């Protein structure tokens, strides 16, 4: 049977505008679940149902097909079931829908593989995700009611210790898998049902975690970053114009060039060096005098016509794998380097081609703290690598 992954991503959001493609840890929110769905390898097709051009563009960048939903199922009052039903009406080849929530960025391929087995091999009609919680519940008392609250799942005279109580299962909203015949009857959960229990650290819901920086920390700690294991970065190559500087060149009356840079970026480079990471600079043009004036003490290559070849030479000379190389670029001349490096980033104002090739898009513009921001991103991922080693 044809198993399709379907991510519902409406353009409207009352809380956070275009939340589905807002950058979370340098990746569009929807990109985290699309990457997990792709790498799971169990779906015959992967779709995003949307009514918005920008979301469609991002979905295609991550390899998904796009179903343009109608205005009738794109309202604030529209339900997921209505959007899924419309999708099935247009795609008769689909037998099973895996509705994956875009707001669950810590979803891992291993979870999706196990759920596909439950519904394809073990004959369940619907499977949904849950998480185990150890929370005591009490009855609600409305204002003005002269009533006492009552315990719902505990005896106050004999409160459980956490280790003595198995807890309760709650839907976490990460995914709902269901067969076509069930959805056509108006159900996402029904028939022969099963739940799939996800690990608590993977149950991150952006609808609840509205503090974006906290959600980013959770994703950096527990998110899925791809099939290849992360390695410690040992070399950062940074494009000078448009990354270290803002790309503007000021020319004096006596034909001398001047550029500006952000001191925060110099601090970021110093911090990288202190962590044992080499920083090298690269440029399409001859800016040797500018580099000399900045006195950063970095190996640099200017007047470069083939940045990828220079990057390969440096990587081979240092005996590094590509996973140990990071690259920060902003122009079309950086695209191949961004694709090759194990970790890649661009400033917020990088060209479209560079943004598409990068794994991380900075909030800062070139010459305005982008290097420092990318350095912080590298440090966070290094923490993830070290944590994995300890485990």
Residue 391, pLDDT above cutoff 70: no
pLDDT in tens, 222-244: 888 877 666 789 999 999 989 99
CATH number, residue 244: 3.40.50.1000
Which pLDDT value is given to residue 74?
Answer: 87
Tokens of 366: 């070139």
- Judge whether 380 and 368 are in contact, CB under 8 Å: no
**Crossing angle between the packed helical segments 263-274 and 370-390, to the nearest 10 degrees:** 30
CATH number, residue 105: 3.90.550.10
Mean pLDDT of 254-265: 79
Residue 389, pLDDT above cutoff 60: no
Which pLDDT value is given to residue 312?
Answer: 96
Residue 130 shares a structural domain with residue 265 = no
% of the chain with per-residue pLDDT over 70: 94
Residue 242 shares a structural domain with residue 197 = no
Residue 343, pLDDT above cutoff 60: yes
Q: How large is the greatest C-alpha to C-alpha distance in the chain, in angstroms?
A: 86
Which pLDDT value is given to residue 334?
Answer: 95
Residue 310 lies in a domain: yes
Residue 349 shares a structural domain with residue 212 = no
Look at residues 192, 190, 191, 188 and name the one whose alpha carbon lies nearest to residue 177: 188
Q: Domain residues for 357?
A: 235-389
Mean pLDDT of 112-141: 94
- Determine whether 133 is an active site residue: no
- Judge whether 6 and 87 are in contact, CB under 8 Å: yes
Q: How many domains does the chain have?
A: 2
Residue 239 shares a structural domain with residue 188 = no
Residue 71 shares a structural domain with residue 117 = yes
Handedness of CA 36, 331, 338, 360 (dihedral sign): negative
The span from the CA of 49 to the CA of 78, in Å, is 13
Beta strands in the chain (DSSP E): 3-8, 23-24, 27-28, 45-50, 65-68, 96-100, 126-133, 168-179, 193-198, 235-239, 250-251, 257-258, 278-282, 299-301, 325-328, 343-346, 360-361
The span from the CA of 168 to the CA of 164, in Å, is 13
Which pLDDT value is given to residue 390?
Answer: 55
Mean pLDDT of 35-48: 96
Among 68, 133, 137, 159, the active-site one is: 159
Residue 145 lies in a domain: no
Residue 7, pLDDT above cutoff 80: yes
Residue 99 shares a structural domain with residue 173 = yes
The span from the CA of 242 to the CA of 362, in Å, is 13
At residue 127, the 3 state secondary structure works out as strand
Cβ atoms within 10 Å, residue 53: 9
Residue 12, pLDDT above cutoff 80: no
Residue 326 shares a structural domain with residue 383 = yes
Residue 201, pLDDT above cutoff 80: yes
Q: Mean pLDDT in the chain? A: 89
Where on the phi/psi map is residue 303: left (φ > 0), alpha (ψ -120 to 50), or beta?
left
Residue 15, pLDDT above cutoff 80: no
Residue 218 shares a structural domain with residue 252 = no
At residue 62, the 3 state secondary structure works out as coil
Residue 240 shares a structural domain with residue 110 = no
Residue 372, pLDDT above cutoff 90: yes
Which pLDDT value is given to residue 261?
Answer: 79
Q: Which helix (H) or strand (E) holds 32?
A: helix 29-40
The span from the CA of 360 to the CA of 25, in Å, is 7
Look at residues 218, 257, 220, 233 and name the one whose alpha carbon lies nearest to residue 328: 233
C-alpha dihedral, 30 to 75 to 78 to 128, nearest 10°: 10
Residue 319 shares a structural domain with residue 379 = yes
Mean pLDDT of 276-287: 90
Which pLDDT value is given to residue 293?
Answer: 63
Mean pLDDT of 34-58: 95
Q: Which has more pLDDT, 347 or 214?
A: 347
Mean pLDDT of 99-122: 95
pLDDT in tens, 160-190: 887 888 889 999 999 999 999 999 999 999 9
Residue 190 shares a structural domain with residue 87 = yes
Beta strands in 230-359 (DSSP E): 235-239, 250-251, 257-258, 278-282, 299-301, 325-328, 343-346
Mean pLDDT of 307-325: 94
* Lowest-pLDDT range of 286-300, 317-331, 334-348: 286-300
């Amino acid at each position: 049977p044809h198993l399709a992954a379907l991510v519902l991503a409406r353009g409207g959001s009352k809380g956070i505008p275009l939340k589905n493609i807002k950058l979370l840890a340098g990746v569009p929110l929807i990109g985290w679940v699309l990457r997990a769905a792709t790498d799971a390898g169990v779906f015959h097709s992967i779709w995003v149902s949307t009514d918005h051009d920008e979301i469609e563009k991002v979905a295609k960048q991550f390899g998904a097909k796009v179903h343009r939903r109608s205005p009738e199922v794109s309202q604030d009052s529209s339900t997921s079931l209505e959007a899924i039903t419309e999708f099935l009406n247009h795609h008769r080849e689909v037998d099973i829908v895996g509705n994956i929530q875009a707001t669950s960025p810590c979803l891992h391929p291993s979870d999706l593989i196990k759920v596909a087995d439950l519904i394809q091999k073990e004959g369940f009609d619907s499977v949904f995700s849950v998480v185990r919680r150890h929370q005591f519940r009490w009855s609600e008392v409305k204002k003005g009611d002269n009533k006492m609250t009552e315990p719902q799942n505990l005896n106050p005279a004999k409160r459980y210790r956490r280790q003595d109580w198995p807890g309760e299962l709650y839907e976490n909203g990460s995914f709902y898998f269901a067969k076509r015949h069930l959805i056509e009857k108006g159900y996402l959960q029904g028939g022969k049902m099963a739940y799939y229990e996800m690990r608590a650290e993977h149950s991150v819901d952006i609808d609840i975690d509205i503090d974006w920086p906290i959600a980013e920390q959770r994703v950096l700690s527990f998110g899925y970053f791809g099939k290849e294991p992360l390695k410690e970065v040992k070399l950062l190559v940074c494009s000078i114009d448009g990354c270290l500087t803002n790309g503007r060149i000021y020319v004096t009356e006596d034909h001398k060039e001047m550029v500006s840079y952000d001191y925060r970026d110099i601090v970021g480079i110093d911090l990288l060096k202190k962590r044992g990471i080499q920083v090298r600079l690269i440029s399409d043009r001859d800016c040797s005098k500018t580099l000399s004036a900045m006195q950063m003490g970095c190996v640099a290559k200017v007047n470069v016509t083939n940045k990828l070849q220079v990057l390969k030479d440096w990587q081979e000379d240092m005996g590094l794998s590509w996973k140990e190389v990071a690259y920060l670029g902003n122009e079309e001349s950086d695209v191949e380097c961004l694709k090759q490096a194990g970790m890649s980033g661009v400033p917020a104002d990088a060209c479209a081609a560079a943004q598409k090739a990068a794994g991380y898009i900075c909030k800062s513009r070139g010459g305005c703290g982008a290097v420092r921001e990318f350095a912080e991103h590298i440090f966070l991922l290094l923490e993830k690598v070290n944590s994995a080693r300890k485990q």
